[in-house]
Structure 1
Amino acid sequence: MSIDPSSIPNFGGQQGPTPNGPTGPAVGVPNQELIKQLLDQMELKYAVDEEDDLLAPWEEFRTYFMFRGEGPQHVFAVRTFYERAYSVDEKPQLLEAVDEWNHLTLWPKVYTNTDDEGAVRLIGEAQMLIGMGVSIDHFAATTVSWIQASIEFNKWLGERLGLEEDGEAGADD
């Protein structure tokens, strides 16, 4: 069996001119300014932290937009820190819920973090390699989807664990 090379999709290679038209979709290396534009379009408030990462705060969690590395290893990550603290005794129930979420969904992947005082918190994360460039439309759509999934996880966990709602999952005013 032979494979026609033209039938293999081009995942990230250079987009050249098509015989009858212009080049393919805009490809570039996203930056913090693009994230600010997306957050502005979504009417979400944000700030820049001491490590120069963008941060969008909600009542029950905060989401960071981080760029790390250089060249082909340049990574964009969206990391959400959920504020609710749990006891170490609650960790088995949390791990069961997190395993269920991670099995059922693509993102964010959620894990636990236990601090020195024994408080257990959840962190959600999604990452994308961007060093070789990505379609700006794909990048924007994926970032918005990750934000929405972070909000959805917070709602899902509250329902899954039978927690009372502490507030709305909208951006802080």
Structure 2
Amino acid sequence: MSVSLQPLTNELITAVLKAREFAYATDDDGDIRGDWQSCLIYFFRVGQASEIIQVRILTYPDFSVDDVPSLYAFCNAWNHDRLWPKAYVHTDDDGVVRVVGEVSADFEHGVTQEQLDQVMICGIATGVELAEAVAALK
């Protein structure tokens, strides 16, 4: 049996979202995003040839700079105990702090829709778990 690999494209990403009947939007920059329960999830194509998918989870609770040490401890524990998503602390230019998660996969040689679906659903499901855990910190 021959498997047909396709290049990673925004059209393939949206096809996966449509197949699952997930609501999504595309912003002016062409970035694909959707709201899932307690987080905003972006589906970025990164890398030299845009061959890497990065499912980026932005958790909703905002924190202050004073919370950074405890958020670092939370992220370290999360990353120690779980494979996905990788969690880290991000501070915006305006001083707003939040926890961000990422699941990435390199599809340099192409991807099937089923493979892409697997990575994206992993990012969504584990991203929601991360967002719920972060929300419980407030």
**TM bracket, shorter-chain basis:** 0.7 to 0.9
Aligned to 1:76: 53
- Contact 1:47–1:55 (8 Å) recurs in 2: yes
Change in CA separation of 1:58 and 1:134 when aligned onto 2, cut-off 3 Å: closer
Is 2:38–2:128's contact at 8 Å kept on the other side of the alignment?
no
1:102 is the counterpart of 2:79: yes
The number of aligned residues is 138
Residues 30, 136 of structure 1: 8 Å contact kept: no
CA distance in 1, matches of 2:112, 2:16: 15
Post-superposition offset of 1:38:
2.1
Preserved contact between residue 87 and residue 101 of structure 2 (Cα < 8 Å) = yes
Q: Distance in 2 between matches of 1:157 and 1:35?
A: 27
Larger Rg: 1 or 2?
Answer: 1
Q: What is the DSSP-based 3-state SS (H/G/I as helix, E as strand, rest coil) of the residue aligned with 1:76?
A: strand
The alignment-based identity, stated in percent, is 30
Deviating 4+ runs (over 3 angstroms): none
Query: Against the structure 1 CA distance between its residues 121 and 35, is the aligned structure 2 distance closer, same or farther, given a 3 Å change threshold?
Result: same
Q: Counterpart of 1:56?
A: 34
The higher relative CO (CA closer than 8 Å, separation ≥ 6) is in 2
What is residue 127 of structure 1 aligned with on the other side? Answer: 104
Give the 3 Å change call, closer, same or farther, for CA 60–155 of structure 1 in structure 2.
Answer: closer
The amino acid of 1:67's aligned partner reads: R
TM-score of the pair, normalised by structure 2: 0.86
- 1:57 shift after superposition: 2.0
**Is 2:76 the counterpart of 1:90?**
no
Q: Which residue of 2 aligns with 1:168?
A: none
